Amino acid sequence: MGAQEDQQGPDAAGERPSDTYTDPLTRLGNRNRLRDKVAMLVSERAADPAPFTIALVNLDGFRPINDLFGTVGGDEILSQVAHRLKACVPEGAMVVRDRGDGFALLLPLVFEEQTAIRLGELIKDVLSAPYDLGDRNVRLSASLGFAIYPFAGDEFDALIKSAETALYRSKRQGRGAITVYSTTIAEDMRRATQLEQTLRNAIINDVIDVHFQPIVRLKDTRLVGFEALARWNDPELGFVSPAVFVPLAEERGFIDTLSEALLRKAAESMLAWPPELFLSFNLSSAQMTDPRTAVNTLAILDSVGVDPYRIELEITETAVMTSPDTARRIIAELRSAGIAIALDDFGTGQSSLGRLRDFIFDKVKIDRAFVSGIDQDRAAAHIVKAVVAMCEGLGLKTVAEGIETPEEGETLRSLGCGMAQGYFFGKPADAAATLAYIKNAGLPRAASWS
């Protein structure tokens, strides 16, 4: 194993000076070098177009590294990545530094999808080993996108575009994914791009709506607040699930615009509510990496005229861990203004207990995975009981999500859970229906609670 291609550009006798071919940090070739090598390979195989492969490798979660360790630490990791890639690619392959935390590989002897995937798995394993930064070790994962000539393109720009499409698909799937370009993937991405444009227009035209789901106090089923939930009904597409359009807005970089518009709309609606009711609103992972989030949030509430003490913001473990230092500052700024912070989807992350130690929260939302059928699931009941006891010890409020039956609600009440929401107490409804719900006090009551 090991790349054997010369990683430097032509010397003074070549067509271009070497610095146009060489990445100054890693001393690998750059995209110019890759372009010329691909052109040469295409020319050599013109008469008999035998396949070869281009791969793009991108580090997952690299941005916080520079935040935590500075550019010196980030540069050291990139240098180590370059060394590892050169050591693990096949004979005759070439590794180049592409852009930022990205690398590209030219693989002349990788002819088909399964070989590409096997190599991708090897590269993932190699790059996931700890990186030594002196007194600290850092772990990262990598996502990969492959494009095979001539099926994914018959010249450099087309191949790179296909590899970028495959890499983008990998990024959408989560950390450490591998994708080999295909026409099916390209069609999926085309549809996603069309949906993105439709969503952008919907945001501009302010047609994304906010619905509200009741949150009740379990001991007496008294209404205490509502969670705001995004809803989108498009004239042509019909109902589009927030599980589709919210991640799309995050991926395409305009979730902050969407979220701020929804917060303003939700805050305006709650002006008509009794002052004792609170609003719970979700912040995205992207917002927890933006230092302006607290200022922007408070500015919206101030412009609408809503007291921050009536607002609760929900964040997930994934959101706070993307950029922990920034998230910690955002949480501190919001709490100092009176806003409560809830840890959402508790129990679904890999180290939620650690998050309770590392960050200051006011409330924990117990994920619906532990609630469904809890009245018949002893293991789930024991888990919830332990979570509630732990939260009581930490001075945290608890709310359970996804209650659908009176039996589930009674079990949660008996276990000491403080609040709950779910279809049993009310489905998400628009602003007008929510006002009617408040006025009619339309809460179901179990006989055992009266």
Q: Model pTM?
A: 0.69
Do residue 134 and residue 268 come from a single domain?
no
pLDDT digits (tens, 9 = 90+) for 312-339: 999 987 777 778 888 899 999 999 999 9
Residue 156: give its domain's CATH number: 3.30.70.270
CA distance 33 to 394: 57
Residue 331: give its domain's CATH number: 3.20.20.450
CB-based burial label for 184 (10 Å; 0-12, 13-18, 19+): exposed
Q: Is residue 7 part of a domain?
A: no
What amino acid occupies position 76? E
pLDDT digits (tens, 9 = 90+) for 229-238: 999 999 999 9
Do residue 363 and residue 224 come from a single domain?
yes
- Total domains in the chain come to 2
Among 138, 153, 181, the domain-final residue is: 181
Query: What are the tokens at 228?
Result: 């705001």
Task: State how far the alpha carbon of 406 is from the alpha carbons of 224, 364, 446, in Å.
Answer: 18, 22, 6
Beta strands 52-60 and 94-97: pairing type?
A: unpaired
Q: Is residue 3 part of a domain?
A: no
Q: Is residue 6 part of a domain?
A: no
Task: State how far the alpha carbon of 416 is from the alpha carbons of 197, 290, 383, 388, 441, in Å.
Answer: 46, 36, 12, 7, 24
- Residues 6 or more apart in contact with residue 61 via CB below 8 angstroms: 140, 141, 175, 322
Beta strands 141-149 and 52-60: pairing type?
A: antiparallel
Do residue 98 and residue 199 come from a single domain?
no
pLDDT of residue 167: 93
Do residue 39 and residue 177 come from a single domain?
yes
Do residue 365 and residue 238 come from a single domain?
yes
Do residue 126 and residue 227 come from a single domain?
no
Q: Is residue 5 part of a domain?
A: no
Do residue 172 and residue 240 come from a single domain?
no
pLDDT digits (tens, 9 = 90+) for 136-184: 788 889 999 999 999 998 899 999 999 999 998 898 787 889 999 998 8
pLDDT band at 2 (very low <50, low <70, confident <90, very high): low
Among 144, 160, 181, the domain-final residue is: 181
Do residue 169 and residue 197 come from a single domain?
no
Dihedral of alpha carbons 328, 333, 336, 338, sign: negative
Do residue 204 and residue 160 come from a single domain?
no
Among 130, 153, 181, the domain-final residue is: 181
pLDDT band at 356 (very low <50, low <70, confident <90, very high): low
Q: Is residue 395 part of a domain?
A: yes
Average pLDDT over residues 250-265: 92
Domain containing residue 155: 18-181
Do residue 223 and residue 90 come from a single domain?
no
